[in-house]
Amino acid sequence: MKINTIPVLTAIALFLLSFSCSEDNSPTSEFDPSEKGSLSVEFDNVVGNRNLQLGGQQNYTNAAGETFSVDIFDYYISNIILTDKNNNQYIVPQDSSYFLIQESERASQEITLHNIPAGNYTSITFTIGVDSLRNTMDVGRRTGALDPATGMYWAWNSGYIFLKLEGKSAQAPDDAGGKYRYHIGGFGGMTEPTINNIKTVTCSFGSSVATVRTAITPTIHMLADVMKLFNGSTTLSIAQNPTVMFAPFSVNIADNYSHMFNVDHIHND
């Protein structure tokens, strides 16, 4: 009886290869896997180098030379991933990973994630907006921050508004009532492709590390800069585009705001 040794050797080689690969991929954490902690993210909304203040009294100037105030600034953050210094990723369970940040609601600006493996984290990744799956999920599973009654939902489009910025400007045309309104959304469509403004961003902690431990809950102090909506690869002019909602031009605004987040500092206490 002849045995063809080539397939046997190939099988052994593949076995060894797969074994060594899984060894390489196993997490290299120096922490007890049972140690868990929490981590907070503070979303500090600013306009350039100034604090964001709602209401008509506070005026800012964009790159188009237009003055504006801000009445509403709301956005969704979802699908959060933390990456540690060994490149291990912790994916926050999806059901606990949707947050609506509202400038008018102080409590909404600090989110806390629980049950995170102890570790030294160096970056955070998240989606600005709501992923397409959740946009189309049975409405009974869209509660809390995702309740369509929050005003961040287009019933006619079955889709979430990812980011809403409204205010007043002397440069807004009269037929816009002295106001500008940017309601940006679009998850790519259900049956046919539509505008897709889902943006996923990674913010590095630079030389800082968030040290999640049972006894330490780090706070990532993040700045979100409204000015970046106006000043980016597209210079947004309120006079030319006072109202942008579900329209092709929204892609430019979403591109601009995908650069609005920046980790300013971290508190490890």
Binding site for Cu ion (CB under 5 A): 221
Work out how close the CB of 135 gets to Cu ion at its nearest, in angstroms, rounded to a whole number.
Answer: 33
The C-alpha atoms of residue 191 and residue 262 are separated, in whole angstroms, by 35
Work out how close the CB of 264 gets to Cu ion at its nearest, in angstroms, rounded to a whole number.
Answer: 7
Residues 6+ apart with CB under 8 A from 112: 38, 39, 40, 217
DSSP conformation class of 33: T
Q: Which lies closer to Cu ion via its Cβ, residue 179 or residue 221?
A: 221
Residue with the CB atom nearest Cu ion in the bound state: 221
Q: Which phi and psi (to 5°) does residue 109 adopt?
A: -85, -5
CB atoms within 10 A of CB 218: 24
Work out how close the CB of 266 gets to Cu ion at its nearest, in angstroms, rounded to a whole number.
Answer: 8
Q: Which lies closer to Cu ion via its Cβ, residue 106 or residue 141?
A: 106
Burial 151-177 (b: 16+ CB within 10 A, else e): ebbeeebebbbbbbbbbbbebbeeebe
Work out how close the CB of 71 gets to Cu ion at its nearest, in angstroms, rounded to a whole number.
Answer: 26
Q: Which lies closer to Cu ion via its Cβ, residue 213 or residue 221?
A: 221
Work out how close the CB of 213 gets to Cu ion at its nearest, in angstroms, rounded to a whole number.
Answer: 19
Q: Which lies closer to Cu ion via its Cβ, residue 216 or residue 239?
A: 216
Task: Copy the structure tokens of residue 54.
Answer: 């709602």
Q: Which lies closer to Cu ion via its Cβ, residue 36 or residue 221?
A: 221
